[in-house]
């Protein structure tokens, strides 16, 4: 599809098939399609993802994780997308465990080395019955910014209040927030691509070393400049 304006990948952290999070992502796909964009959903429940083990050397490694499951497959797919949406329900006043495990493994074990999500457009959707949406949303936003993605302001955050299946559709303000977020993500990707075609250059450049791998000489120069 050469004329697709954007390729968005939504990471779904819900364990429940056909629940509110799944339904909202289906709606997000329809919104993207109306903007001539492709939004595909990756359900973490369909993959073999292990929690971090007891090795404890993640912060000191210079190479990705040696533990072999589907994590590398997922992060490589993320690297090919123009934008990433994290979508997760609130469980036990916090983030659903699938997404928590995924964020820990993906970030520390893979994404931190080369920051492949840099300058991709990011978004977050949180569903839950009533409590702690904002806490989970803030954690997702922090992860988006940590991975140097671009988060587009879209009005109210995409927080949907729902317990039983289908209840999310009754949260009209939440649904509208999802629509605005997806539309603005697609628009931002389109602007960046159009600029790159016109100038034969990246919309945003990036050549800074990973924050965990700053050399001693760089730190010394920084310290001297502050004295």
Domains along the chain?
7-226 (3.40.50.360)
Q: Residue 197: pLDDT band by 50, 70, 90 thresholds? A: confident
* Mean pLDDT, residues 166-178: 95
Is pLDDT at 43 greater than 60 in this prediction? yes
Q: Among 5-14, 56-65, 185-194, whose mean pLDDT is lowest?
A: 56-65
Tracing tokens 């671009």 back to the chain, one arrives at 150
Read off the tokens for 98.
Answer: 């699938």
Report how far residue 33's alpha carbon sits from residue 29's, in angstroms, rounded to the nearest whole number.
6
pLDDT tens digit sequence for 75-130: 999 999 999 999 999 999 999 999 999 998 888 777 887 888 999 999 999 999 99
* Angle of CA points 41, 79, 54, to nearest 5°: 90
Is pLDDT at 31 greater than 70 in this prediction? yes
Helical axes 20-34 vs 172-199, angle rounded to 10°: 40
Evaluate whether 152 touches 188 at the Cβ level (below 8 Å).
Answer: yes
Rounded alpha-carbon distances, angstroms, from residue 39 to 6, 18, 73, 84, 143? 8, 17, 18, 9, 20
Evaluate whether 182 touches 190 at the Cβ level (below 8 Å).
Answer: no
Percent of the chain with pLDDT over 70: 89
Evaluate whether 162 touches 129 at the Cβ level (below 8 Å).
Answer: yes
Which of 7-11, 47-51, 117-121 reaches the highest mean pLDDT? 7-11
Q: What is the pLDDT of residue 112?
A: 80
Q: Mean pLDDT, the chain, as a whole number?
A: 88
The pTM (predicted TM-score) of the whole model is 0.88
């Amino acid at each position: 599809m050469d004329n697709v304006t954007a390729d968005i990948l939504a990471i779904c952290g819900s364990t429940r098939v056909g629940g509110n999070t799944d339904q909202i992502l289906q709606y997000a796909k329809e919104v993207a399609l109306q903007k001539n964009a492709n939004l595909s959903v990756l359900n973490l429940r369909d993959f073999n993802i292990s929690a971090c083990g007891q090795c404890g050397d993640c912060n000191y490694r210079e190479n990705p994780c040696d533990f072999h499951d589907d994590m590398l497959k997922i992060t490589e797919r993320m690297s090919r997308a123009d934008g990433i949406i994290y979508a997760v329900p609130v469980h036990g006043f916090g983030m659903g465990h699938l997404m928590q495990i995924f964020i820990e493994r993906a970030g520390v074990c893979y994404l931190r080395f080369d920051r492949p999500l840099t300058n991709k457009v990011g978004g977050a959707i949180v569903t839950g019955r009533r409590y702690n949406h904002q806490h989970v949303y803030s954690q997702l936003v922090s992860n988006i910014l940590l991975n140097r993605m671009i988060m587009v302001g879209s009005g109210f955050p995409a927080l949907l209040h729902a317990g039983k299946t289908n209840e999310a559709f009754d949260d009209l303000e939440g649904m509208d927030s999802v629509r605005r977020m997806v539309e603005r993500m697609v628009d931002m990707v389109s602007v960046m691509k159009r600029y790159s075609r016109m100038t034969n250059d990246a919309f945003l450049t990036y050549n800074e070393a990973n924050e965990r791998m700053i050399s001693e000489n760089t730190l010394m120069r920084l310290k001297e400049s502050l004295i």
